[in-house]
Amino acid sequence: MTPQRQRVLALFERIGEGSHLGAEEVHQRLLRAQERVSLATVYRTLRLLSGMGLLQELELPEGGRRFELAGDAHRDHHHLVCVRCGRTEEFENAEVLEAGNQAAAGFGFRLVECVLNVRALCPSCTAAETA
Ligand SMILES: [Zn+2]
Ligand SMILES: [Zn+2]
């Protein structure tokens, strides 16, 4: 693994499971930690690490992406994402996982990841809309 990949992975390990960071946030944090790295490199590294299964990618409604550590105990969880402010909450649901498993098995696929992304409006954005 290249030093850059190690640094990005180390950053995610420091902040721990369940934190979702966009490429720009990762870049900012690396710069603050005196790491000299370009945003393009951060993008490339994030894509590589999620391809290797070390990070989990979360697609946001506005076409953005966030990444988080893909720990074994933290892989199969789902996301509730506010479409206005991007607030992200996690939840687990065994039925969703079971549905994914059954669908995969039905077509003879081997399940790699089963994630449900729910788009919603958080309470404060709902309040702002009705105000
Ligand atoms: Zn998550
Ligand atoms: Zn919101």
**Structural domains for the chain:** 1-71 (1.10.10.10), 76-131 (3.30.1490.190)
Q: What is the pTM of this model?
A: 0.75
Extract the tokens encoding 32: 């603050």
| Closest-approaching ligand to the CA atom of 83 | 2
Q: What pLDDT sits at residue 61?
A: 66
The residue behind tokens 């299964």 is 53
Q: What pLDDT sits at residue 16?
A: 84
Rounded to whole angstroms, how far apart are CA atoms 66 and 3? 21
User: Is residue 49 within 8 Å of residue 29, measured between CB atoms?
Assistant: no
State the DSSP H helix or E strand holding residue 88, giving kind and residue range, or none if neither: strand 88-91
The residue behind tokens 């939840």 is 91
User: How far away, in angstroms, is 75 Cα from ligand 1 center?
Assistant: 8
Neighbouring residues of the ion ligand 2, judged by CB less than 5 Å: 82, 84-85, 87, 122, 125
| Closest-approaching ligand to the CA atom of 125 | 2
Please list the rounded mean pLDDT of every run of 10 residues in the chain (131 residues). Answer: 89 88 94 90 94 86 82 79 89 92 95 85 93 77
Q: What pLDDT sits at residue 130?
A: 83
